A and B are shown apart, each in its own frame.
Chain A
């Protein structure tokens, strides 16, 4: 039996960054195949190549034994390959049906009258259990429902290979269970499903086979029954899991650095309600929660409360000392991607490198070189456009820029998103160093591992409220997961 999908020696470079090198593995027809790996391991890149969004620099892809070369997702869809992206591609002011029909343009079904189309899609939804109110506007639907629309978009085109990129990241535990049972139904109908994830328990629960990525390479591809969570984790990280840290210094309760009292804020879609939070010197407080439960509001209140309407904000935030942040979306909020590295290092600390009217360019460049060496930011070229650095190197510079200013309070939002393994550990250690030097850290992350590795305390945000708080001795994945889903 030929494989549904086969990768043969696929490599992909972005400038000097090697996103995929020599990837080879195959996916059996009618199976659920998990692709696992840490952030930045190259899973998404490989899937985007399969979906025609990128063209590989070398290697080939076979679908049902046929070599294919997709120039764009349109070609991929014609070959019955569909993909649900981590960030949904939906037109929010339109109805679910509109969004699904939009995808059909040019396909054989496009000629059917709208009523019959709706009937056909309803049939598909019923058959696989993806119920959605087709006449509801997307903006009024929950994230889980939006995901179903995305899946229906693919199913309505009769695709038989489905790629799902991190489908569970935004779902509550109950929604995850529903999704999994529906995916099993699809498998029973003969569809082939590739699912990107880094949650190993889901892999064990759902998949037939699993392929592990690490640093752009395929390190293992085997049947799920032949492996275990520990086994996969070791393969992903490339070495044994980190030993829980021994705390060298202890929290200084006498010194409150950040004091949030009765904070409520309303940003329209996202809200915060009655938040009380204290951060002391030498303390790391983690904020856990599924994305979209108020984290973004909290960040804006801390960094940019002036931009909020007066009426929508109440309560108080007291910050004793200087504050520095790693932005949750560094390319958007943190850097000037088209400008050279040294100008990015300068951003936000212009006063340190100014004499009279003029910039002390020589000093700035020397300092940038020093920092790039200390943080091992590669390539060692301070004049390179920042956007051409890899994610890990980008984030190291952002972290370096914030920490070298010796802030009293550090707001670390998603500090290791899209960062390779080596850099993650480096960044974690830098955060620890700053903490030991007396800083207080507010860590907002969607990675439970990260939260548990760094935090002294973890609060859980759910629908804008703190619904649970755990100390270091109390928290574990189960308790946190339960609180994140709203149950506690």
Chain B
């Protein structure tokens, strides 16, 4: 967690900037902390942002480990969430324990497929994954919007969202985490997220597959000479990345909302990039960095409410500066390393 320094640097800069808005930075900081952790309610909201950020952070990180830059977590997640909602709406009679499992499996397949397409194009056609995943984000948004509004729209609302899934699909009363944080979308998927992060750590560092994936990311030519198919690894990595982003369906559909709402994500997929960078792509670090970014997101969105001059736009500036701080530190380390090598 060396990158935490970048986080703090960005935060400090942002807080100093509030001086120009006529605010007391210390005051702004205490508001941030209070509205992120001040009560079980606030903490619950922070955690409800943390969960999808862990999944998206892991998705971006596994791409980085394989030497690929997955900017497509947003689209992979969208496809997964709308798929889970569709299963829940179209197959209402599946009984409880099976129903959420089915929905999440479908979501993982949809997210994984979305990643697989990008991986396949990258490996076989040589197209650059950054371009493809950005394009796939747009396609996902369009497809999901069409499906939500034309095929399974919510008949009771003018909001752009799907109908509610059948209650069999929801954790509801079985969800102990949700009981701890009433009135918030926080739910048991947080526990799943942490477990998945640990599993990913084991996969990357303790298995031969994980080693091969990292070898391709570290030096694809050498991996190729060592008999590792870098194409297969790239496709597998992007598929895994898509499935990891797809886990957001667990927290969003099964865990809380019970539907796909267009615009539910405040760019989780993109904040996930900062989450992964801040943790140097270490899955265990991602749990911590996702929590910090979640807290920042929750805290910053309350600034509008709690101060007289800081608007929602200013809270975006704060988040942007923190992300810049994290990225700048990453760049600085890379630069120093390059310097040393000559």
B window 206-220: CB within 8 A of A: 206-209, 211-212, 214-215, 218-219
Decide: B215 and A347 in contact? CB cutoff 8 A.
yes
Decide: A336 and B208 in contact? CB cutoff 8 A.
no
Q: How far is the CB of B220 from chain A (nearest CB, A)?
A: 10
List the one stretch of B68-76, B184-192, B221-229 in contact with chain A. B221-229
- Cβ–Cβ < 8 Å partners of B224 in chain A: 304
Decide: A337 and B219 in contact? CB cutoff 8 A.
yes
B window 85-108: CB within 8 A of A: none
Q: How far is the CB of A229 from chain B (nearest CB, A)?
A: 33
Tell which of A48, A343, A387 touches B211, judged by Cβ atoms closer than 8 Å.
A343
Q: Are A335 and B222 CB-contacts (below 8 A) given A346-B211, A357-B208, A359-B208?
A: yes
- Cβ–Cβ < 8 Å partners of B221 in chain A: 332-333
What 0/1 pattern do residues 322 to 365 of A give for CB contact below 8 A with B?
00010100001111111100010011101101100111010000
A53 CB within 8 Å of chain B = yes
Decide: A347 and B206 in contact? CB cutoff 8 A.
no
Decide: A336 and B225 in contact? CB cutoff 8 A.
no
B342 CB within 8 Å of chain A = yes
- Cβ–Cβ < 8 Å partners of A354 in chain B: 208
B336 CB within 8 Å of chain A = no
A303 CB within 8 Å of chain B = yes
B window 224-261: CB within 8 A of A: 224-228
Q: Are A348 and B207 CB-contacts (below 8 A) given A333-B221, A336-B222, A337-B219?
A: no
A128 CB within 8 Å of chain B = no
Tell which of B214, B225, B340 touches A339, judged by Cβ atoms closer than 8 Å.
B214
A54 CB within 8 Å of chain B = yes
Tell which of B211, B218, B219 touches A350, judged by Cβ atoms closer than 8 Å.
B211
Tell which of B208, B219, B226, B342 touches A14, judged by Cβ atoms closer than 8 Å.
B342
Decide: B206 and A361 in contact? CB cutoff 8 A.
yes
Q: How many angstroms between the C-alpha atoms of A203 and B212 in the bound complex? A: 48
Q: How many angstroms between the C-alpha atoms of A343 and B225 in the bound complex? A: 15
Q: How many angstroms between the C-alpha atoms of A15 and B339 in the bound complex? A: 12
Tell which of A54, A335, A359 touches B219, judged by Cβ atoms closer than 8 Å.
A335
A window 196-250: CB within 8 A of B: none
Best-buried of B207, B219, B221, B342 by chain A (most CB within 10 Å): B219
Q: How many angstroms between the C-alpha atoms of A333 and B223 in the bound complex? A: 8
Q: How far is the CB of B284 from chain A (nearest CB, A)?
A: 17
Q: What residue of chain B has the Cβ atom nearest to residue A361's Cβ?
A: B206
Q: How many angstroms between the C-alpha atoms of A232 and B222 in the bound complex? A: 38
Decide: A339 and B222 in contact? CB cutoff 8 A.
no
Q: How many angstroms between the C-alpha atoms of A350 and B342 in the bound complex? A: 32
A window 90-116: CB within 8 A of B: none
Decide: A359 and B342 in contact? CB cutoff 8 A.
no
Chain A: interface residue count, which band?
20 to 34
Q: How many angstroms between the C-alpha atoms of A348 and B209 in the bound complex? A: 12
Q: What residue of chain B has the Cβ atom nearest to residue A335's Cβ?
A: B222
Q: How far is the CB of A352 from chain B (nearest CB, A)?
A: 10
- Cβ–Cβ < 8 Å partners of A53 in chain B: 342
Decide: B209 and A357 in contact? CB cutoff 8 A.
yes
Q: How many angstroms between the C-alpha atoms of A333 and B219 in the bound complex? A: 8
Decide: A339 and B207 in contact? CB cutoff 8 A.
no
Q: How far is the CB of A12 from chain B (nearest CB, A)?
A: 10
- Cβ–Cβ < 8 Å partners of A14 in chain B: 340-342
Decide: A347 and B223 in contact? CB cutoff 8 A.
yes
- Cβ–Cβ < 8 Å partners of B340 in chain A: 14-15
What 0/1 pattern do residues 286 to 311 of A give for CB contact below 8 A with B?
00000000000000000110000000
Decide: B208 and A303 in contact? CB cutoff 8 A.
no
Decide: B222 and A334 in contact? CB cutoff 8 A.
yes
Q: Are A327 and B342 CB-contacts (below 8 A) given A336-B219, A347-B215, A350-B208?
A: no
- Cβ–Cβ < 8 Å partners of B341 in chain A: 14, 387
Q: What residue of chain B has the Cβ atom nearest to residue A334's Cβ?
A: B222
Q: How many angstroms between the C-alpha atoms of A351 and B208 in the bound complex? A: 8
- Cβ–Cβ < 8 Å partners of A339 in chain B: 214-215, 218
Decide: A304 and B206 in contact? CB cutoff 8 A.
no
- Cβ–Cβ < 8 Å partners of B215 in chain A: 336, 339, 343, 347
Decide: A359 and B207 in contact? CB cutoff 8 A.
yes
Tell which of B219, B225, B342 touches A325, judged by Cβ atoms closer than 8 Å.
B225
Decide: B222 and A54 in contact? CB cutoff 8 A.
no
Decide: B222 and A347 in contact? CB cutoff 8 A.
yes
Decide: B208 and A327 in contact? CB cutoff 8 A.
no
Q: How many angstroms between the C-alpha atoms of A336 and B212 in the bound complex? A: 11
Decide: A332 and B222 in contact? CB cutoff 8 A.
yes
- Cβ–Cβ < 8 Å partners of B207 in chain A: 357-359
Q: How many angstroms between the C-alpha atoms of A357 and B207 in the bound complex? A: 6
- Cβ–Cβ < 8 Å partners of B222 in chain A: 327, 332-336, 347
Decide: B225 and A338 in contact? CB cutoff 8 A.
no
Closest 7 CB pairs between A and B?
A: A348-B226, A336-B218, A350-B208, A354-B208, A347-B226, A336-B219, A333-B225
Please list the residues of chain B having a beta carbon within 8 angstroms of any beta carbon in chain A.
206-209, 211-212, 214-215, 218-219, 221-228, 340-342
Can you list 24 pairs linking A and B with CB atoms under 8 Å apart? A53-B342, A304-B224, A332-B219, A332-B221, A332-B222, A333-B221, A334-B222, A334-B225, A336-B215, A336-B219, A336-B222, A336-B223, A337-B218, A338-B218, A339-B215, A339-B218, A343-B214, A347-B222, A347-B226, A348-B228, A351-B208, A358-B206, A359-B206, A387-B341
- Additional 17 contacts, C-beta under 8 A, given A350-B208, A359-B206: A14-B342, A54-B342, A303-B225, A327-B222, A332-B219, A332-B221, A333-B221, A335-B222, A336-B222, A337-B218, A337-B219, A339-B214, A347-B226, A348-B225, A348-B227, A348-B228, A358-B206
Please list the residues of chain A having a beta carbon within 8 angstroms of any beta carbon in chain B.
14-15, 48, 53-54, 303-304, 325, 327, 332-339, 343, 346-348, 350-351, 353-354, 357-359, 361, 387
